[in-house]
Amino acid sequence: MNSDTGYMRIALEEARSGALEGEIPVGAVAVFEGRVIARAHNRVESLRDASAHAEMTVLKAASSVLDRWRLTGVTLYVTIEPCPMCAMALVLSRVDRVVFGAPEPRTGAAGSFIHILGNPALNHRPEFLGGVLSDEASALLREFFRNKRAAGSASHASPDTNPSLTEPENHV
């Protein structure tokens, strides 16, 4: 097991904690000098805050720990490809590196939907790597949405197995 996999496992633990709280299971971890300095999961529902994505919370916590907004030297691990909001926050925070698990075809900003990470037009381009433990991250999402449908929250459940964060039935 290399260190990327090890840190991603911690992010996956966070994602599982989120699922237990009824949150879409996405977890993130910030690592500085080989040490986990912050970890969080998505808390959009509990905080009633559309911006409370795991990455946003981890960036804020990491800035607080290091007492600076420039997160040079930090690697951010997240279980799902970051959305445009989080990707831009990662760029602005000047993190060195972003490692993510599963690609997110509908909102991913590391190339799946749009290119923010690594965009040559931006003055900071974090190194990024996807696909680390992606099967586990996707399986968590699939299970979460399956349980949600089984609980009867969506009466017209589609056989959609796409592990996207945007559940089609949620568009009102």
Place of tokens 């790597």: 129
Minimum separation from the CB atom of position 23 to Zn ion (A) = 13
* Region at 22 (left for phi over 0; alpha for psi -120 to 50; beta for the rest): left
User: Does 21 qualify as catalytic in the annotation?
Assistant: no
| Interaction of residue 133 with Zn ion, rule CB under 5 A | no
Residues in region 34-53 near Zn ion by CB under 5 A: 53
Burial class (CB in 10 A: 0-12, 13-18, 19+), 92: middle
| Interaction of residue 12 with Zn ion, rule CB under 5 A | no
| Interaction of residue 83 with Zn ion, rule CB under 5 A | yes
Binding part of the chain for Zn ion, among 63-71, 75-83, 115-123, 158-166 by CB under 5 A, reads 75-83
Neighbours of 105 (CB within 10 A): 14
Residue from 30, 31, 86, 99 touching Zn ion (CB under 5 A): that is 86
Taking the C-alpha atoms of residue 2 and residue 52, their distance in angstroms, rounded to an integer, is: 29
Minimum separation from the CB atom of position 19 to Zn ion (A) = 17
The CB-nearest residue to Zn ion is: 86
Cβ contact 33:73 at 8 Å: yes
Question: For residues 17 and 149, which CB has a smaller minimum distance to Zn ion in the complex?
Answer: 17
CA dihedral (123, 32, 67, 41) in degrees, to 10, reads 90
The one catalytic residue in 23, 55, 104, 167 is 55
Residues lying near Zn ion in the complex (CB under 5 A): 53, 83, 86
- Point out the residues that are catalytic: 55
